[in-house]
Amino acid sequence: MTLSEFAQRDGGSQLAIIHERGVPVGHRDQGPYEVRLYQVDAFYAEIFFRKHDRSIWKVGGFDHPVLLQPYLDQIDIRSLWPPGE
């Protein structure tokens, strides 16, 4: 599935695609929302949940790597190096 095909679907279909094919990648807080990131084929999808009641506010997708920036600080790469380096 392409990002364009995903974007043409309604919200319920997008959620089903994320549930069936998405791989959880990360999460972040953005004001009143908790955002969950998934990789779906060659693009990323985000689900925005309202913090106060956990309802879904928005579902969206993107494929530009710069939009991953808010998630990059969560990745711990220290375990990739041998001890003492």
pLDDT tens string 20-34: 999 999 999 999 999
Kindly state the DSSP code that residue 74 receives in the 8-state scheme.
T
Could you tell me the CA-to-CA distances from 48 to 35, 58, 78 in Å, in that order? 5, 5, 29
Q: pTM score, two decimals? A: 0.85
Kindly tell me if the per-residue pLDDT of 43 is higher than 90. Answer: yes
Could you tell me if residue 20 is inside a domain? yes
**Total domain count for the chain?**
1
Q: Which two tokens stand for residue 46?
A: 């985000």
CATH classification of the domain holding 57: 3.10.450
**Amino acid, res. 47:** I
Q: Which residue has the tokens 């925005």?
A: 48
Could you tell me if residue 49 is inside a domain? yes
Domain carrying residue 43: 3-74
